[in-house]
Structure 1
């Protein structure tokens, strides 16, 4: 069985690995050319395909809603008598370890304050309306849309793996459409695209994590916040993640992810109590109310009659980033979700994280906005130069600021390690014929390579390079996810037809 042996990597591993190595070599030997090419590709993608990303992510969410309330909602991701492997709390902790943890910490304060001084189209900077829009757009960027991507991929992977006994590969989510061709060239091409998207998406996350750990240490201890420091951090965390990786998901990941969700909860409570509590509760209510009331306009609005650079820089980047993350997060979520019903899966993967994201941004971003607007603490100016320091500036200006900053550094560091651990695992699954028990050497090879990729992207252009490469890489995989929806519903219809009727 799958647990009894460890499969060697196949053609998908070697092809994907070589392509990423060539990409890294390009960045090492020709960093300026990589920066110029990525910037040009970013502008082209923004100009011609922003509409596609907006439509696709909205379709993902609507599909999730249909699955949660539709006729297939009681189907289990596994045999009818199977039980969940993890408790609900541990399951949620693992979701955040593999999902949006790094992004929530990186952008939790920076995004709202930057939207306040550089607002979306139609708002005047540094006004009350800009402040409201800042939180509303932040909630929009981190609520249903990104988790809709993960829900579709994770649900498809879990259904075909645990209900239909297919290998744990992206390609086998297309079995109702492709049949045995999922084991042929077409299937391998799909898995190569998924592996490449995952590697680049994870490298983007690594880069953001290194930037924020560096920024946090700089704020607390006065060390230089430089690329050299960021590279050292990547090297140290790569070493730390090896310890977690070799211990396995059930040991290292379980303990780290559970501790991280506790640290994040403690930080939120402290900031809520020590910050402007009434203001934060009002901000949460207002932001969620505006998000719900304006959901369709937010989801489908672009700027065809004006400069669309703001949405390209923010909304389109976030959608592309999470789509590039999709194979990695979706595969990992599928791995830990055996035994849950489709309705429970959608509730846990889509709605609970979306609500927690809204709470996080309302508390952290709301506190940053209050400091910016009412207390004369100019977080925005620092964030315009170094986004990664905004979170720690906010914590440092609260009572017990030093303690909170140390907790913040610990939080992002553990998220960094768990992301590295889960990413190397998923890349190994995708490139080792779908086994849930890939070789440790394969996991470590991917871990080292994506760390090096993150370092190259940081050296060749920093955050802009990370943005550009993520958006371009996500494009082909967006098409794959849309086709995946058709295959999933076809597979669910076939399975539903096999159930006994009363």
Structure 2
């Protein structure tokens, strides 16, 4: 069977007011208004849902993410691994170096800037795995365990979610000619019903999953940005300041999304990587270099030896506070970001084989994240081992200051201010690209696969993302942001389960010569030159 040559799909008059647009916008507006006008009630509702999920469905989150990882590895080594994400004779759209660079950029962003120091320091003080292994808190062994747990939360399990969503989108769009929307991943199971109410419902779930996942990242980022401005310029840490920052970033990201200045965003993203490497170099050479080298070897070995059993661990404590605050939150966060990062990975992976796509994307980005965690978290832990309480006290009082306190504790006075400014700049730029990418992906889904949605939609959703982040921040700060992520991930996790089934059936249908109907949503193919040109405008904005 010759695969479809249809590369991109959309809808007639895509990007204009449609049922999806009206429905999703009204639902978001209702959520924001209700939350802002009923802050205490909203917080109670979020807390109630969160408690119920943690008590009854923690095992489900653990199983679903581990199963996705196992499924991805199986597909990579199965007979379907040679299938190309495009025509049989199609070459990869991007060279390996460029492709790897974009995958690597996915591994570094606002989330790691926030957690790479704070999380290891908190695990260093106590976690269930210390008790299970007879390790005393605040020791060198506890430091190794803290790094391993942080790597686990940012490693293969989470990336498998992104990669599976990306594989489904890439296969059904570039190989089978379906629209670039989440609903297309269920075509083998639903057939033409994806073009009706069921398909709309699936895309709405993906929209809200992306919306809350991105809003959580924005909320975390703005808290750290506020801390940085306070450290540098004495700007007060307050809800008012954070509201202003959310509004500022939302406006900048919206202008970026509608202006078409893709080259500027691309340059910004390239500089993000360069500045990140400068910051890493400062930590490595000004910090405990030998300790970091030792920690790299031991941590990677510890992770490889234990990531599978850790992936199936469920806290039997009735409250499940530690696992709920950490592992379940992270799995929810990865699931919520699945449509966003998955769509970006799909967009840059055309022409790769399934096996090449899975193995490279499953290994390279986590390694980038591991490097960041070991360098930043390891430096902080070394400082803490030599001067007990110096950084843990800061983290316990205000985790958003962990990065700045670590830079100061390294002790290179001549560079402290410059590195603090650089860190704040990185937070701002990664923050903007996160908001921009979330806006573009949501608009693409709302437009039913149109990769160039109308400017009016970009404005609405760019401001809408900021509105949701603001509402959650007012409803309970960090706790509300985490809770919203866990809740939003639950329905999309069900969709992801069926996508696994549909993907295998899609492979089998192809071998049987069964074709798919892409006419209901499809429009003529955009030429390769146009696709490449437009992708260059959007790839960097989606790179976080």
What TM-score, normalized by structure 1, do the two folds share?
A: 0.94
Task: Decide whether the 8 Å contact of 1:5 with 1:437 is kept in 2.
Answer: no
Deviations 1:113-163 (A, max 9, x none): 011113235254323332221100000000111111100101101111111
**Distance of aligned partners of 1:250 and 1:492 in 2 relative to their CA distance in 1, 3 Å threshold:** farther
| 2:506 alignment partner, one of 491, 494, 497 | 491
- Which stretch shifts more, 80-89 or 267-276? 80-89
Question: What is residue 25 of structure 1 aligned with on the other side?
Answer: 33
* CA deviation after TM superposition for structure 1 residue 344, in Å: 2.6
Q: How does 1:187-198 map to 2 (within 5 A)?
A: 187-198=199-210
Q: Give unmatched runs, 5+ long, in structure 1.
A: none
Question: What is residue 527 of structure 2 aligned with on the other side?
Answer: none
| 1:182 alignment partner, one of 188, 194, 200 | 194
Task: Decide whether the 8 Å contact of 1:31 with 1:460 is kept in 2.
Answer: yes
Question: What is residue 350 of structure 1 aligned with on the other side?
Answer: 362
Question: What is residue 298 of structure 1 aligned with on the other side?
Answer: 310
* CA deviation after TM superposition for structure 1 residue 343, in Å: 2.3
| 2:462 alignment partner, one of 447, 451, 471 | 447
Deviations 1:334-392 (A, max 9, x none): 22322222223223422111111111111100001111121346222222232211112
**Distance of aligned partners of 1:9 and 1:120 in 2 relative to their CA distance in 1, 3 Å threshold:** farther
Question: What is residue 136 of structure 1 aligned with on the other side?
Answer: 148
**Distance of aligned partners of 1:424 and 1:137 in 2 relative to their CA distance in 1, 3 Å threshold:** same
Question: What is residue 166 of structure 1 aligned with on the other side?
Answer: 178
Alignment partner of 1:50 is 2:58? yes
Q: What is the distance in 1 between the residues matched to 2:443 and 2:140?
A: 48
What TM-score, normalized by structure 2, do the two folds share?
A: 0.87
* CA deviation after TM superposition for structure 1 residue 497, in Å: 5.0
Deviations 1:474-501 (A, max 9, x none): 11111110110110111123334559xx
Question: What is residue 258 of structure 1 aligned with on the other side?
Answer: 270
Question: What is residue 338 of structure 1 aligned with on the other side?
Answer: 350
Task: Decide whether the 8 Å contact of 2:178 with 2:184 is kept in 1.
Answer: yes
Runs of 4+ in 1 over 6 A off after TM superposition: none
Question: What is residue 403 of structure 2 aligned with on the other side?
Answer: 391
Question: What is residue 228 of structure 2 aligned with on the other side?
Answer: 216
Q: How does 1:68-147 map to 2 (within 5 A)?
A: 68-95=76-103, 101-121=109-129, 122=131, 123-147=135-159
Alignment partner of 1:287 is 2:299? yes
- Which stretch shifts more, 466-475 or 4-13? 4-13
* CA deviation after TM superposition for structure 1 residue 332, in Å: 2.4
| 1:238 alignment partner, one of 224, 247, 250 | 250
Task: Decide whether the 8 Å contact of 2:163 with 2:342 is kept in 1.
Answer: yes
Q: CA RMSD in A?
A: 2.1
Task: Decide whether the 8 Å contact of 2:283 with 2:375 is kept in 1.
Answer: yes
| 2:425 alignment partner, one of 396, 410, 423 | 410
Deviations 1:247-292 (A, max 9, x none): 4485344222222122212211221111101111111212111111
Question: What is residue 289 of structure 2 aligned with on the other side?
Answer: 277
Q: What is the distance in 2 between the residues matched to 1:341 and 1:9?
A: 37
Q: What is the distance in 2 between the residues matched to 1:379 and 1:454?
A: 29
Question: What is residue 429 of structure 1 aligned with on the other side?
Answer: 444
* CA deviation after TM superposition for structure 1 residue 181, in Å: 0.5
- Which stretch shifts more, 115-124 or 220-229? 115-124
Deviations 1:166-191 (A, max 9, x none): 01111111111111011011111111
Q: What is the distance in 2 between the residues matched to 1:2 and 1:390?
A: 45
